[in-house]
Amino acid sequence: MVDPIVILGGGGHARSCIDVVETEGTYAIAGIVSPEGLPVMGYPHLGDDSNLIEIIDRYRNTLIGIGQIRSPHVRIALYDRLKSTGAFLPAIFSPKAYVSAHATAAEGTIVMHGAVVNAGANVGCNCIVNSLALVEHDAIIDDHCHISTGARINGGVHVGSGTFIGTGAVIHEGITIGSRCIVAAGSLVRDNLDSGSVYASSKR
Ligand SMILES: CC(C)(COP(=O)(O)OP(=O)(O)OC[C@H]1O[C@@H](n2cnc3c(N)ncnc32)[C@H](O)[C@@H]1OP(=O)(O)O)[C@@H](O)C(=O)NCCC(=O)NCCS
């Protein structure tokens, strides 16, 4: 018997999440909760914010399928709301990702196709480790971070909570990045960043 799961969000990130859930196979997608009111990839629209609690009561398992770039606020608020209503937020790993048996990823985190989370790495809750991203050995990713497509977090890096690492960014080994930072797409980070930094290593 396959457990049902509800996807919150109906945009592009939600569609990528659906593909991971389908490929992984532990959960059957019961439907979508979104303000748009539309089915997504053939899954029915179950409701929106107004009946979220009833939906959680019925299905329990949820995955936040809303993306995060400039601010983690929406994902954090939703995560806190889901937790307070008794939802379960399983960590979901694409079978096309590699998550070391010596690494951890907490609840609500999704590790998407082609990503690598290597030995000794710890990824917090409600994170996105997006397609083809690398979280190398012993790196620590705190809660509510988005490690974008193809970003490379090298060994021993510490990324603070709510931080966004843009697509293709490279973080040198051992660097500490504070909380709620934005690292622009394609940046090379060689020095520590204070919390709240917005960093782009070179102009486009
Ligand atoms: C950092 C980011 C959020 C800034 O977006 P923004 O606020 O709209 O910024 P703008 O595009 O107006 O650019 C502001 C300035 O930063 C520079 N800049 C923006 N992104 C940059 C980048 N990736 N590298 C270098 N410089 C960059 C711009 O050239 C511009 O410089 P100027 O003020 O001298 O003209 C955005 O550029 C970015 O990296 N987005 C993430 C994309 C991504 O990784 N998506 C992942 C999806 S999985």
pLDDT tens column, 18-71? 999 999 999 999 999 999 999 999 999 999 999 999 999 999 999 999 999 999
The pLDDT value given to residue 203: 60
**Domain residue limits, the chain:** 3-84, 91-204
Written in H, E and C, the secondary structure of the chain is: CCEEEEEECCCHHHHHHHHHHHHHCCEEEEEEECCCCCCECCECEEECHHHHHHHHHHHCEEEECCCCCCCCHHHHHHHHHHHHCCCECCCEECCCCEECCCCEECCCCEECCCCEECCCCEECCCCEECCCCEECCCCEECCCCEECCCCEECCCCEECCCCEECCCCEECCCCEECCCCEECCCCEECCCECCCCEECCCCC
Atom 47 of ligand 1, nearest CA residue:
148
With contact defined as beta carbons under 8 Å apart, do 14 and 32 qualify?
yes
Atom 2 of ligand 1, nearest CA residue:
184
Per-residue model confidence as pLDDT tens digits over 132-189? 999 999 999 999 999 999 999 999 999 999 999 999 999 999 999 999 999 999 999 9
Within 6 Å (CB) of ligand 1, which residues are found? 69-70, 130, 148-149, 166-167, 182, 184-187, 200, 202-204
Per-residue model confidence as pLDDT tens digits over 66-112? 999 999 999 999 999 999 999 999 999 999 999 999 999 999 999 99
Question: Ligand 1 centre from 183 Cα, in Å?
Answer: 9
Structure-token pair, residue 117: 């989370």
Q: Which atom of ligand 1 is nearest to the CA of 130?
A: 48
Instruction: Kindly report whether the global pTM for this prediction surpasses the value 0.95.
Output: yes
Question: Ligand 1 centre from 182 Cα, in Å?
Answer: 10
The pLDDT value given to residue 43: 98
- How far apart are alpha carbons 85 and 185 in whole angstroms? 35
CATH topology of domain 3-84: Rossmann fold (3.40.50)
Question: Ligand 1 centre from 66 Cα, in Å?
Answer: 20
Per CATH, is 91-204 categorized as 2.160.10.10? Answer: yes
